[in-house]
Amino acid sequence: MFQIRVHGRGGQGVVTAAEMLSVAAFEEGRHAQAFPSFGSERTGAPVVAFCRISDKEIRLREPIMEPDAIIIQDPTLLHQIDVFAGLKPDGYVLLNSHHSIEALGLAELVHGRQAERFCTLPATELGLKHIGRPIPNVPLLAGFAALSGIIHLESVILAINERFSGKIAAGNIAAATEAYEQVQQQMKELANAKAD
Amino acid sequence: MLKQTEGSKAVAEAIALCRPEVICAYPISPQTHIVEALGEIVKSGELTPCEFINVESEFAAMSVAIGASAAGARSYTATASQGLLFMAEAVYNASGLGLPIVMTVANRAIGAPINIWNDHSDSLSQRDSGWMQLFAETNQEAVDLHIQAFRLAEELSMPIMVCMDGFILTHAFERVDIPEQAQVDAYLPPFEPRQVLDPAAPVSIGAMVGPEAFMEVRYLAHAKQMQAIERIPQLAAEFKEIFGRDSGGLLRSYCTEGADTIIIAMGSVLGTIKDTVDEMRAEGHKIGVLGIISYRPFPLEQVKAALINCRRFVVLEKSLAVGMGGIVATDVRMAVTGTGLKGYTAIAGLGGRPITKASLHKLFREAEAETLPPVTFLDLDWIAVDKQLAREKHTRRSGPVAENILHDKGIVSAKFG
């Protein structure tokens, strides 16, 4: 079972992200379970949502305390809560920021882990560019697909089309596609740097 | 059709497939998404004839359901927590009059302190109201139980609550097979009321009943629920024939063969319990699970038969009879009277406290070793409790309990439960 925790703030589509991730996994024939952290959600308040993906029926209902991957939709949360709590040693982190992991002062977090599993993506900018709104959730889902390979971009696009229609769907698909390519590019550069 | 969807939405679709003619509800978390989705379905014209009535309170919601049902309409409503309490008088009237209303309870704690999260205090507070209560383990089962509930309610002319864990199920996206309309139509015949307000054949419903007849009316309500004990497994079997899956029934055993210890619970926590039990079985522990689906009627004989070969059981329940202990546990102990089985009560998950595998592992091992006290409070923060008790001992004006505990605990936004 692969477990993902999504952190963000009320209004950024945190719960929607976990739900769409579960839809994408379902489209690939897998079992998936998404659920919010059940807080009284207010705009701007820290929000957490969870997604489990498995090849078997998922019966577990506890919150995800030891995630395989963490998606952070708002980098200002880094100063407020321990978003990385419980991350597995071989876990993935995708963070919404136009700064690099190192520039954000997170080098220590990566130390002793697989550096190619840590990535940042300017998802708010991609949301603004393609959808006209600073909503980072869909670009991050596509970025997560590129980073982890747990789901395919095509499945993210299916999930977008299930949730949105018309111009909003088209904008989200464009944002997702660019996000996917950006993360793939970053990973290629990292692999090349390693090879050198 | 197999879908990845929200529990609330799946239930709304299932309700629509049951062709209700009147839906009335007042929104309250975590029930809101169900009635919102139904409102949209009715407005779209997909479900006709059906009237969606926006009411001004939960009391009005149940009152409208009573009126509609008495007029011969298949009637549905949904609520939770304080909403259920607010409609309590009408809840008793619906069952007392024998009206087959189906109501979803999106289980949530009852205040004060105000709390929107899940436990079973709300529907269990209506335990003796005369409504049947069925508890869903998954969203698939929530869908299926609603279809079975309309059939059972109308057959017996008695109301049913279908209980699903608030947020944990209502707000969870998971795989659900939404039945075809033809399947539901084959299973659920049109509503044939036993009593109806019909100008062509006038009757009165709701007479004043004195000592000469009240006990008989009450006994007959009890007798109906005893009939339900026979009908529920039959209806689950018929359901399987048409829909192809096991759903519903009175109770469900899991890994109980050769089990010395059996864990008993209701609702979605059964999933986490089963995962824990699988891990313990792999380590050689003789442990199993008994899920109770039908809380009212309570299947005393069947519970006894399911437990008779174990040595001890733990009732893990999301409810507390303050001043007594367990609520479900009381019924289970009644079922095993005279068997000599050792029983433990574990109160867990009140007000949405997460029930984790780690805590269950510890609890179940203590039960196996028979070192558990008769009543345990899972993951209770004794430091916080003792601090408040000490405060009360030393200071007369010790202040409001909830505020004191919150103050002691500090900011918990860093927690993910």
Q: Does residue B410 sit at the A interface (CB-CB below 8 Å)?
A: no
Q: What is the pTM of this model?
A: 0.97
- Quick: pLDDT tens for B355-401: 999 999 999 999 999 999 999 999 999 999 999 999 999 999 999 99
Distance of alpha carbon A64 from alpha carbon B415, whole angstroms: 11
Judged by CB atoms closer than 8 Å, whether chains meet at B172 and A34 is answered as yes
Residue with tokens 């820290």: A46
- Quick: pLDDT tens for B30-44: 999 999 999 999 999
Nearest CA in chain B to A26: B4
pLDDT at A41: 67
Structure tokens at B335: 């079922």
Q: Does residue B177 sit at the A interface (CB-CB below 8 Å)?
A: no
Report whether the peptide linkage leading into residue B190 is cis, meaning its omega lies within 30 degrees of zero: no
Of all residues in chain A, what percent are helix, strand and coil, respectively (each to 5)?
45, 20, 35
The answer to whether residues A170 and A150 touch, using CB atoms and an 8 Å cutoff, is no
Give me the percent of chain B exceeding a pLDDT of 90.
98
Q: Does B417 have pLDDT greater than 80?
A: no
Chain A residue numbers with beta carbons less than 8 Å from the beta carbon of B357 are 60, 62
Average pLDDT in the B43-69 region?
A: 97
Judged by CB atoms closer than 8 Å, whether chains meet at A59 and B274 is answered as yes
Q: Does B198 have pLDDT greater than 50?
A: yes
Q: Does residue B356 sit at the A interface (CB-CB below 8 Å)?
A: yes
Tell me, what DSSP letter sits at residue A80? T
Distance of alpha carbon A120 from alpha carbon A141, whole angstroms: 12
* Strand arrangement of the beta sheet that strand B294-296 belongs to: B51-54, B22-25, B75-79, B102-107, B160-165, B132-135, B294-296
pLDDT at B410: 82
* Cα B89 to Cα B63, B85, B129, distances in angstroms: 10, 8, 9
- Quick: pLDDT tens for A138-175: 999 999 999 999 999 999 999 999 999 999 999 999 99
- Quick: pLDDT tens for B209-231: 999 999 999 999 999 999 999 99
Judged by CB atoms closer than 8 Å, whether chains meet at B272 and A37 is answered as no
Distance of alpha carbon A20 from alpha carbon A3, whole angstroms: 14
Q: What is the DSSP string of A83-106?
A: TTTT--TT-EEEEE-SS-TTTTT-
Decide: helix, strand or coil at residue A167.
helix
Q: Does residue B219 sit at the A interface (CB-CB below 8 Å)?
A: no
Residue B392: φ, ψ to 5°? -70, -30
pLDDT at B54: 94
Mutation target to probe the B interface, by most B beta carbons within 10 A, among A1, A41, A61, A161 is A61
The answer to whether residues A87 and A67 touch, using CB atoms and an 8 Å cutoff, is yes
Nearest to B6 by CA among A163, A40, A71, A30: A163
Nearest CA in chain A to B270: A59
Judged by CB atoms closer than 8 Å, whether chains meet at A31 and B354 is answered as no
- Quick: pLDDT tens for B237-264: 999 999 999 999 999 999 999 999 999 9
pLDDT at A66: 97
Distance of alpha carbon A17 from alpha carbon A49, whole angstroms: 8
Q: What is the mean pLDDT of chain B?
A: 97
Chain A residue numbers with beta carbons less than 8 Å from the beta carbon of B417 are 37, 63
Q: Does residue B351 sit at the A interface (CB-CB below 8 Å)?
A: no
SS (H, E, C) B160-173: EEEEEECCCCCCCE
Chain B residue numbers with beta carbons less than 8 Å from the beta carbon of A5 are 416
Judged by CB atoms closer than 8 Å, whether chains meet at B167 and A36 is answered as yes
Judged by CB atoms closer than 8 Å, whether chains meet at A48 and B269 is answered as no
Distance from the A36 Cα atom to the nearest Cα atom in chain B, whole angstroms: 7
Distance of alpha carbon A104 from alpha carbon A77, whole angstroms: 12
Distance of alpha carbon B415 from alpha carbon B331, whole angstroms: 35
Average pLDDT in the B77-82 region?
A: 98
- Quick: pLDDT tens for B264-294: 999 999 999 999 999 999 999 999 999 999 9
* Cα A63 to Cα A14, B242, B353, B401, distances in angstroms: 15, 35, 10, 27
Distance of alpha carbon B132 from alpha carbon B156, whole angstroms: 11
In which band, very low, low, confident or very high, does the pLDDT at B414 lie, cut at 50, 70 and 90?
A: very low
Distance of alpha carbon B393 from alpha carbon B395, whole angstroms: 6
pLDDT at A196: 75
Give me the percent of chain B exceeding a pLDDT of 70.
98
Chain B residue numbers with beta carbons less than 8 Å from the beta carbon of A82 are 414
Report whether the peptide linkage leading into residue B27 is cis, meaning its omega lies within 30 degrees of zero: no
The answer to whether residues B328 and B317 touch, using CB atoms and an 8 Å cutoff, is yes
pLDDT at B413: 47
Average pLDDT in the B5-13 region?
A: 98
Size of interface A-B (CB pairs under 8 A): 82
Report whether the peptide linkage leading into residue B113 is cis, meaning its omega lies within 30 degrees of zero: yes
Average pLDDT per block of 10 residues along chain A, 196 residues long: 96 96 98 86 88 98 97 94 94 97 91 92 97 96 97 98 96 98 94 82
Average pLDDT in the B303-324 region?
A: 98
